[in-house]
Every structure is written in C-alpha cells, then in structure tokens.
Structure 1
Amino acid sequence: MTSTASAGLEVAGLDKTFGDLAALTDMTFDVAPGEVFGFVGSNGAGKSTTMRIILGVLAADRGEVRFGGSLINSDTRRRIGYMPEERGLYPKMKVGPQLVYLARLHGLSGSEAAERTAYWTDRLGIASRVDDDVAALSLGNQQRVQLAAALVFDPDLLVLDEPFSGLDPVAVDVMSEVIVEKAADGVPVLFSSHQLELVQRLCDRVGIIAKGRMRALGAVDELRSAGGLRLRIDAPRAPAGWADGIAGVLSADYADTTVLRVDGAHDDQAILSAALATGPVHGFVSETPDLTELFREVVTAV
C-alpha cells in the first residue's frame, strides 16, 4: 500500500447541478498537509455535496479533485477517512467486528485491524461497547463509532461532516484532541460544523460557503480582522443616532449598548468625546467580530 501522508487536498472549480438547482458553482479551495480546514455554511449551502464529490459518491459536472498533486481515484480514496453527517454504520452489527471489517476493507491485515480497533475504541471511550450492536448505542456513542471507523485504518486525509453533532462536552474535547493530533501528524483535516466556536478554536483556515459558492476564505484571524473593528459603548443617556456622521464610523447599532463598526482610520478619542457629550460612559471596548458574527454577515449579504 502506497501512503500519501503529507499530501494536500486540492478542490478546483467544482460545478454541480441537480435539475435546475446549482448546488455548486466554481467551488475552489485547498487543504494543506497538517492543516485543519473548517468548511461552514447554512444547511443546503453545498458542504455535503462537495464532500461527496471528494469521496467519489457524486460526480462533478465540472472541475477536479486532487490529492498529492494527482487526481483522486479509487486507490487514493481508500486512504481517506470519511465521517458522513448521516449514520453510515451497520446498525445490527457489533461495534468491534464492524470496525475490524471496515479496517480490512481499507487494506489492513486481520491482526492490524484488531489492534487499531482496540486502540481507537479505547481512545474514544467505547471499549466497553465493542460487543454491542450499533443500534443499541446512544446517538453520541454511535458518533464515536463513526469517528473510529474514519480513523481505524490510519488515513492520510480526514473528511468529517458535522463530527461534533450529538456529542456531550467530554466527547467534544476528545474529538477536538484527535483532530489536532492527526493534523500534527501531517494529515489534512477538512470538517464542517455548525458549532462555529469550535471552528474558530480548532481551524487554521476557514471557508464560508453560501448558495454553492465560496464567499469567504482565509485564516480565522484574517477573516475576523477583515470583518472590521467594533466599538462597544455603554452610554445610557445617548440618543439613537448620536454617532452618525463621525469620521471613521461605518455603521451603528443603537440599542441598550451602542455597537459601532469602524474603519482603520477612526479616532477613538473623538468617538469617546462624542459619547461623553451625551452623558456618562460606563464602558468603551474595542473588539474584533467573532466567526459567528462574520458568518452571519457573509450569509445574509448573499
């Protein structure tokens, strides 16, 4: 078996239509060796369609998927650990034999498959359930088994579709540790999640898609900085509109606390003086928008 460890994933110009629906349009991004790439978007945005094309479950109408510089084929797909959003396990088959079976399908010997199954079921906290049918497990434990199935053959690329869905906080921590460790081993990791705080914490880069197109792509800090700076001002007597017309103020949200979106040339002191002119100021904080705010702005702008 030829390993493609330390290879990168390239997705170039994917188009996919279903009837009159354009599911993907020029979907392009890459995941470098050892990188954790977060793939985020609303339901129906095209995340799962992209992942299924990478896996060969669907065929693209146009575009290419490469791994290690070569077009992905059936041999390289055997080296991809895939965790689908929907349960992809045999519900009436016992956990241990099922993982051994799946590992052997990916080329491991019987002894190797048994060894890797023992390791990952122990690591993911389901060693005591190896003799249970998958259907007898809680949804969270089924999710752990699905992750074990993606990892049991020591893949060279991980593609995880909503891997944190249904997990308790302890399992989320374990899942996060595994993702970071696999990336540290040089494995590219592509995962989608609606839990944007986890994406922000774990990912090196993020792609935000909406209506089948990549709308924002870059390092998390770069995307957050590009979203503009915010000033959060607690001025309880300030009337709505008090900051309108001040140089550097791009937009304002006047609520119990005023939130101003400002450009790089804004003058903090001028804004603070204008706030003080309305009465007492109890708070004046500069902040960068988090990924959740950025995601909301990108998606609603489409």
Structure 2
Amino acid sequence: MPVLQFSHLRKAYATTVAVDDVTFEVRPGEVFGLLGPNGAGKTTLIRMLIDIIAPDEGQVLLDGRPLGPADRDRIGYLPEERGLYRKEKVIDILIYFGMLKGLSRRDARARSRAWLERVGLPEVAGRRADSLSKGMQQKVQIAGTLLHEPEILVMDEPFSGLDPLNTVLVKDLLRQRRDAGALVILSTHQMPMVEELCDRVAMIDRGRLVLYGDLEEIRRGYGESAVLVGTHADLRGLAPVASVAQAGSLCRVVLRDGARPSDLMALLQERRIPVDHFEVARMPVEEIFVRTVQARGAATLPTPAAAPAGMERGA
C-alpha cells in the first residue's frame, strides 16, 4: 500500500487563506486523525485530496507521484453532510455507488447485499431511502463508502448520530480497513474516539499545521504538565500548582508553565506533606487540543515531526 503525502498545500478563497503551507503524510495500516476547530481548513484539505478543488500551491502525492483522476476509484469518502437519493431503493443506490467506483453491475450488486448484511440492514435493500431512519441512512452511506474496499478511506464525523451499538460497529469497520493496510483518515471533534482509534494526528488551526505526529509521543510531550497525587492535604496555593481537581481517590494537579513534577515533589517533601501516590498524568487529547488552539504558536509546540522525510520545500 502506498504512502499519501500532503506536500506544502496552500489554498485561498479571495482574501481568505483556508490552507497555508500544510505538509504531512498518512501511512498504510494506520488510523490518522485530522483535527481542528470549525473553519480550520480540514474540509478544504479533504476536498483537495478527493480532487474536488485544486490547490493553489503544493501537491497531494500518492507513493511519490501526484494524485490524479485515475486514483479516484481508490478513495472512499464519507462526508460530514450525509446524502442519499431519497426516492430510490437502497440496493439501487449502492449499486450506483459501486459502479461509480469502477465495479461491474454484477459485482456492485453482490457487494451491496454483502455490505447491507455487514451493517445489519439486509432487510432494507428494497426500501426507499426516505423510508429509513436517520441512523439507518447513515449506515447505508457507510456501506456505500466501503463496498469497493478503498485503499484510501476518509471518514468525516462518522459517529455523528449513531447509538452506542452502531458506534462500536463503525469503529470495528475502521479497524478492519486499517488492518487490511488501507490509509484511514478520521476527521472528528470527538476526542475520545481520537484517543481510542488514532495512531497519529495532524491538527489544523486557521489553515496552519499546529500539531503533527505520533499521538503517544505528543501526549508524552505534554505529559509533565500534570500529575496525579494521593494526599488529603490542600495543594492549592503551592507555587508550582495552577489548578487541582479530584480524579477518583487522587488529585489531578495541573502545573504552572515552566514547573516540573520534580518541583512539586520537592516542595511536598520540604513541607512534609504526606503523599501516598505520585505519578505523571496522561493529558487527555481534548485538553491538548484546547491548549494547542489557544496557544496558536506552532513553532513553540511539541511536534515530533515537522515534515515527512523527502518532502522538504523544493524536493
């Protein structure tokens, strides 16, 4: 399976720069999180990937060559704004989707029925789309996105509106494509899903890449900003402490900028404050997201990889 590279992409609409010199790569066999607040430029990046719009500068590369019209059949895209042909039968819609991706009618029909089975909706094949619930329609569209077994899968808010059972189903489908070696891009605001599913992430804010790399490395980069402490003492007011919150039987202590866990430990020992537990806390991805957007200083943020090898400007 090839590597997908976004190389120095830039796109402007009149005086608004939607994407500004963004470079990152997505590798086979991983779930890659594309994150950012509303209006950050994520949708523009996706549209350049699927060839709806062209970049003003830069390229989308697949295994080192520009992605072109011939590669469209290798992509599966679930947009955030869902849409089916409401007055058509479900089976006919799926067959049409499959044929758009290069499948024969016979193969598209067989795969459509198989995918309806996989998403638990074999009984709706002959029903019109407008007779289905919103959740059913979403599962039909997911089936249509996956039935040609895309090598590049882009899912934009795939869990929106799903109940817990169907959320598990979609997570399993994403993992199956990942395990098959596909390039899986997940764009979502649901940070628990990012924590659970994503291997690496890119965070976009106001068109700029502000965070990029292995999710665990990123979390370790932020790891020394909070600690879990077991104590009955009130730690508020201590010099290294920014805030204290209860976390089960422990206190989660967020440290002030520049303070280290060792600074807090030294102070606790100096004041002989009894402690029965002390560990560096894993910062939730949601908190990293908020801090990164608020800081808005990409050059000072912990970024394990600034740009993929071989993708330097002018390469």
What TM-score do the two structures reach when normalised by structure 1?
Answer: 0.88
Q: Residues 143-292 of structure 1 correspond to what in structure 2 (within 5 A)?
A: 143-229=138-224, 230-233=226-229, 237-238=233-234, 240-242=236-238, 244=239, 249=240, 252-254=242-244, 257=251, 259-261=253-255, 266=262, 269-274=265-270, 276-277=272-273, 284-292=278-286
- Of the three residues 98, 101, 105, the one matched with 1:103 is 98
Contact kept? 1:205, 1:220, Cα under 8 Å:
yes
Q: What does residue 42 of structure 1 align with?
A: 37
Conservation of the 8 A alpha-carbon contact between 1:252 and 1:259: yes
- In the alignment, the residues of structure 2 paired with residue 10 and residue 238 of structure 1 have an alpha-carbon distance, to the nearest angstrom, of 50
Separation in 2, partners of 1:258, 1:37? 29
Answering whether residue 60 of structure 2 is matched by residue 65 of structure 1, we say: yes
Other structure's SS at 1:252 match:
strand
Tell me the CA shift for residue 201 of structure 1. 1.1
Structure 1 counterpart SS, 2:192:
helix
**Structure 1: distance between partners of 2:141 and 2:131:** 14
Name the SS for the 1:153 alignment partner: coil
Cα shift at 1:234: 6.0
Superposed displacement of residue 69, structure 1? 2.2
Equivalent pairs, count: 289
* Cα displacement (A) at 1:239: 6.3
Work out whether residues 91 and 134 of structure 1, in 8 Å CA contact, stay in contact via their aligned partners in 2: yes
> 2-side partners of 1:134 and 1:68: how far apart?
38
Output the CA distance in 1 between the equivalents of 2:235 and 2:186.
45
Relative to structure 1, the CA distance from residue 275 to residue 192 in structure 2 (aligned partners, 3 Å threshold; closer, same or farther) is: farther
5+ residue gaps, structure 1, are: 1-5
1:69-148 pair list within 5 angstroms? 69-148=64-143
Q: What is the CA distance between 1:57 and its match in structure 2?
A: 1.0
- Three-state SS of the structure 1 residue aligned to 2:23 is strand
Which amino acid in structure 2 is aligned with residue 252 of structure 1?
A
Bigger mean CA offset, 130-139 vs 265-274: 265-274
C-alpha distance 189-285 of structure 1, shift in aligned 2 (>3 A): same
What SS does the aligned partner of 2:189 have? coil
- Per mean C-alpha deviation after superposition, the further-off stretch among 16-25 and 255-264 is 255-264
Contact 1:238–1:275 (CA under 8 A) maintained in structure 2: no
Instruction: Report the Cα distance in structure 1 between the residues aligned to 2:40 and 2:180, rounded to whole angstroms.
Output: 31
Query: Partners of 1:134 and 1:178 in 2: how far apart?
Result: 22
SS at match of 2:262: coil
| Mapped partners of 1:274, 1:238: distance in 2 | 15
Distance, in Å, in 2 between the alignment partners of 1:283 and 1:128 is 55
Instruction: For 1:214 and 1:96, locate their aligned partners in 2 and report how far apart those are by CA, in whole Å.
Output: 41
Residues 252, 258 of structure 1: 8 Å contact kept: no
The answer for the alignment partner of 2:291 in structure 1 is: 297
Which whole-Å deviations, capped at 9, do the CAs of 1:222-276 have from their partners, x for residues lacking one?
A: 010011321134656536422x1xxxx4x62256756133766725642432565
Displacement of 1:149 in angstroms is 1.1
Structure 1 residues 275 and 221, CA gap change in structure 2 (3 angstroms): farther
The partner residue of 1:54 within 49, 68, 77 is 49
Change (3 A) 1:120 1:263: farther
One-letter amino acid of the counterpart of residue 238, structure 1:
D
Aligned to 1:78, the other structure's residue is in SS state helix
